[in-house]
Amino acid sequence: MDKSIRYIMVVLSIAISMALFAEDKQADKRSSVGKTIQKTFEKIDKQTLYKEKKEQELEENKQIHTYQQADFDKLKDATHEDISTIIVLLGEIPLESKNAIFAPAVLYNKNNIFNWNTDFAFTWVGFKATAKFTQKKFIWDNVSLQETFIGSFLYASGTNFGFFGERFNEDLLFYTNYISQIVTLKISLPLYNILGLTIDSRQYFFVERDTPPDFIMPKNHYNLFPRIDWNIEHYTEQGIDQLFDGIAFQNWIGYGNRNKWDTWGEPGNLQMGKEAKTFIIYSSTLTIGTVFKEKQNAIVRLRLKGGIDNDFLSQPRFGGTIDNAKLDVVHGTTVDQFRVESFALCNLQYGFNLMQRVRMNLFFDYALIINPGSQKIAGSGYGFRILGPGGLPIWLTHGISKNMSKADNPSQVVMIMTAAGF
């Protein structure tokens, strides 16, 4: 489909939703067409597309996220208990470039499958599918066991989201396909401590795409990645706006071991060989938030992420202008735009309700690339969450970023996201 037509369709759909959002007039002034539309919206609303939970069951919602796994889990946690399936449409549109990216996603939840004490979750995002089984009570009441299966068919970046459409500044030399089996043992300890032990066994299969004649392909290999998580979590996170109140200190470190590996890449820009056969990735995050004066919410998040002996495929990444997905975001950039050895990131967010169905969020982000070389990236943004017909949420965010270490012009990205559940 032509890009301009695609943009026009997105803009028209949002404009129509916002127009339909206007308050209904009195019954005696409604036309027959208006009554029909109103009845349709009421029927949709009965299916509870999106409603905020009044209370959250904290222990069941706390999760240890698996290695390089970032999806819309928090959106699922924020929905009404009756919803089992969520459909998400996400788009990032750089204003100074025509290379927009779009990602559809389907999320499915089923509690106590087959009348067992086991929950099942399925996520499909672009080229990536994840199936997760969670045994809530495994031997002891404070221990849960989780098995996750991932099938991913991506471009060379190995990015967390498989986007449909064009890429922004992306290298499409080859496809990175992998199948992963992950087992996580989560232990809830006193004083809000959570300990997680994870083993991620992953098989990689690479397929050439647009490689030059002298390009050396990476080898198909098996990667074993044991990981340890230690979290201190004393917070609540409510509703589709994910109102965060409390404190969370989350840490993990993992050790990767490839069964066979060698130098690969383009001559003159070769990637690490035997040095990257074993590698380390670590992350530490402190989140503090408070809710006050009728759902005003202020959040501060500090993150340090890095590793040792990581090559192009395993390096930590950050970037993106996405709300409600727990990514390393810098507003005004696109997902995984920066690929580095280590970085520090600060995210500030303040949200408040403009009116009954419209919420505004203000963002400020600051990223420091520690290695390789020191760079500073600042980002800011403002966004709106609109509850449209039947409670359908629409997120619109405009972000601006600037690499303070270079003479580059500021970049701008518009994020569009909507989600429906049934």
pLDDT tens, residue by residue, 34-52: 444 444 444 444 443 444 4
Say what the pLDDT of residue 180 is.
Answer: 93
Of 30-34, 133-137, 201-205, 357-361, which gets the smallest average pLDDT?
A: 30-34
> How is residue 198 annotated by DSSP?
E
Confidence of residue 70 (pLDDT cuts 50, 70, 90): low
101 vs 380 pLDDT, higher one: 380
**Contact in structure between 169 and 153 (CB atoms under 8 Å):** no
Distance CA 294, CA 317 (A): 36
Per-residue tokens: 146: 């989780």
Of 318-332, 349-363, 390-404, which gets the smallest average pLDDT?
A: 318-332
Distance CA 180, CA 152 (A): 8
Average pLDDT value for the chain: 80
What is the rounded average pLDDT of the residues 45-66? 47
Residue 359 pLDDT exceeds 90: yes
**Contact in structure between 304 and 253 (CB atoms under 8 Å):** no
Say what the pLDDT of residue 112 is.
Answer: 83
What is the rounded average pLDDT of the residues 49-67? 48
Residue 346 pLDDT exceeds 90: yes
Which of 133-137, 216-220, 238-242 is modeled with the greatest confidence? 216-220
- What residue ranges do the domains of the chain occupy? 47-421
Say what the pLDDT of residue 57 is.
Answer: 44
Say what the pLDDT of residue 1 is.
Answer: 44
Per-residue tokens: 214: 């002298």
What is the rounded average pLDDT of the residues 329-354? 93
Say what the pLDDT of residue 165 is.
Answer: 52
| Structural domain 47-421, CATH architecture | Beta Barrel (2.40)
Residue 113 pLDDT exceeds 90: no
Confidence of residue 229 (pLDDT cuts 50, 70, 90): very high
SS (H, E, C) 349-379: EEEEEEECCEEEEEEEEEEEEEECCCEEEEE
124 vs 54 pLDDT, higher one: 124
Say what the pLDDT of residue 279 is.
Answer: 96
Per-residue tokens: 408: 């580059």
Say what the pLDDT of residue 37 is.
Answer: 43
Expressed in percent and rounded to 5, the helix, strand and coil fractions of the chain are 15, 55, 35
Confidence of residue 82 (pLDDT cuts 50, 70, 90): low
Say what the pLDDT of residue 392 is.
Answer: 85
Confidence of residue 79 (pLDDT cuts 50, 70, 90): low
Q: Where are the beta strands (DSSP E) in 40-173?
A: 85-94, 101-110, 118-125, 128-135, 143-154, 164-165
Percentage with pLDDT > 90 across the chain: 43
Which of 33-37, 294-298, 375-379 is modeled with the greatest confidence? 375-379
Model pLDDT for residues 19-29, shown as the tens digit of each residue: 444 434 333 44
Residue 396 pLDDT exceeds 90: yes
Say what the pLDDT of residue 341 is.
Answer: 94
Residue 30 pLDDT exceeds 70: no
Residue 380 pLDDT exceeds 90: yes
Distance CA 311, CA 173 (A): 16
The residue among 350, 370, 229 whose CA lies nearest residue 291 is 350
The burial of 148, by beta-carbon neighbours within 10 Å (0-12 exposed, 13-18 middle, 19 or more buried), is given as: buried
* Angle value at C-alpha 277, between 128 and 177, nearest 5 degrees: 20
**Contact in structure between 197 and 334 (CB atoms under 8 Å):** no
Residue 168 pLDDT exceeds 60: no
Say what the pLDDT of residue 138 is.
Answer: 67
Distance CA 86, CA 419 (A): 7
Say what the pLDDT of residue 98 is.
Answer: 61
Model pLDDT for residues 235-286, shown as the tens digit of each residue: 998 888 889 999 999 999 999 999 989 999 888 889 988 999 999 999 999 9
Residue 83 pLDDT exceeds 50: yes
Question: How far lies 5's CA from each of 9, 16, 17, 101, in Å?
Answer: 6, 16, 18, 15
